[in-house]
Amino acid sequence: MAIAVQQRLLSLDFFRGLTVAAMILVNNPGDWSYVYAPLEHAKWNGCTPTDLIFPFFLFIVGVSIAYALGARKEDPAQHRALIWQALRRGATIIALGWFLNLFPKFNFAHLRFPGVLPRIGVVFSICAILFIKTNRRTQIWTGIILLLSYWFMMTCIPVPGIGAANLEPETNLGAWLDRLVFTPAHLWSGSKTWDPEGILSTVPAIGTGIFGMLVGSWLRRKDRENAVKVSWMFVYGFGTVILALIWDPFFPINKSLWTGSFVLYTGGLATMALAASYWLIDVHGHQRYLTPFVAFGRNAITAFVLSGLIPKLLGYIPVQDTNLHQWFYQTVFVSWLSPYHASLGAAILLVLVILVPIMIMYRRNVIIKV
């Protein structure tokens, strides 16, 4: 999420922009039947490159909170205003997610309440309040307690009406809670029986945001040399990846469940990726060819919203016996490319189309804040 920071890191904007561009790419293939394996989510347990994108974004949300609020939290008189600002921003992000789900028919009977943007809004709000009102030690223990509590609930508490605790898609405790709170019409259309951004799995997702907050607080410290900060980020990142792999046989790395091992695995990789970006870009000044990703990073939420609106708008413009979206895809890509190349080409084109207004905004220093 794009937050105006006092000590703006070009590497953070780059990392955020690269992440949101990848998110747009994997969410918009020309044909879901023809997607290259690295651009698909793991079927259940495991982690593909695509599975890294959403946790990386939540990690970046946490880092951005540390930079945006790190100095201002020192004045208790500002806390009330900062908390209300965080709640307003979170609510706006949630509302944008619901708007995208409703657009253009606005059929509230089938509104999916969970989702990517709603989860970002919830994680941002809770992490921002936690950052404002607590110290680093409390944040560490909060993250640990959230991950361990989620592990206990998912592996030890029997599932009502089903039986023993389990980690299967439709019969785990999180899926049961989703069905209890939401009707099938308000859940992920891919299943109608559970949601990958469901209620219970948002608990460890907050842990991903806390992970980013801790890394951001470390990175903005002025009493450490850059080489020391980067070295320890690699140590922390590698260490948490090892912990995740140790935990994996008992609580498998799984994006849909957002398991604790998934939080540690993706958080560790994100930490090392940010460390490398910071060292190369901010410390050593390697900044060529970064502009498109920095532009995406400055207006990440705007780019994501456009990626949801444009395909839907094209899909409601009739052309011959189909719609403009399908007609364009069939004519420009399928007519001369293999199915997999055509599907990937359409996704890349959408990223480039969205880049045009995003670049114009970047050149004019326009940042849409939520």
How do residues 55-85 score in pLDDT, each as one tens digit?
Answer: 999 999 999 999 999 889 989 999 999 999 9
Is residue 370 over pLDDT 90? no
Number of residues that this document lists for the chain: 370
Q: Is 250 exposed, middle or buried (0-12, 13-18, 19+ CB in 10 A)?
A: exposed
> Can you tell me the distance from the alpha carbon of 270 to that of 204, in angstroms, rounded to the nearest whole number?
16
Q: Residue 159: beta bridge partners? A: 163
At 6, is the pLDDT very low, low, confident or very high (cuts 50, 70, 90)? Answer: very low
> Can you tell me the distance from the alpha carbon of 61 to that of 67, in angstroms, rounded to the nearest whole number?
10
Percent of the chain whose pLDDT exceeds 70: 98
What CA dihedral angle connects 364, 57, 212 and 240, to 10 degrees?
-140
Enter the tokens of residue 245. 């792999």
Give per-residue pLDDT as tens, 263-309: 999 999 999 999 999 999 999 999 889 999 999 999 999 999 999 99
At 7, is the pLDDT very low, low, confident or very high (cuts 50, 70, 90)? Answer: low
The closest alpha carbon to 270, from 69, 62, 90, belongs to 62
Q: Is 329 exposed, middle or buried (0-12, 13-18, 19+ CB in 10 A)?
A: buried
Give per-residue pLDDT as tens, 131-180: 999 999 999 999 999 999 999 999 999 999 999 999 999 999 999 999 99
The full DSSP string for 184-230 is GGGS-TTTSS--TT-STTHHHHHHHHHHHHHHHHHHT-SSS-HHHHH
Enter the tokens of residue 341. 């190349």
Q: 163: helix, coil or strand?
A: strand
* Residue whose pair of structure tokens reads 């944040």 in the numeric block: 139
- State the DSSP H helix or E strand holding residue 319, giving kind and residue range, or none if neither: strand 318-319
Q: Note the pLDDT of residue 86.
A: 95
Give per-residue pLDDT as tens, 202-224: 999 999 999 999 999 999 998 89
The closest alpha carbon to 337, from 323, 322, 347, 352, belongs to 347
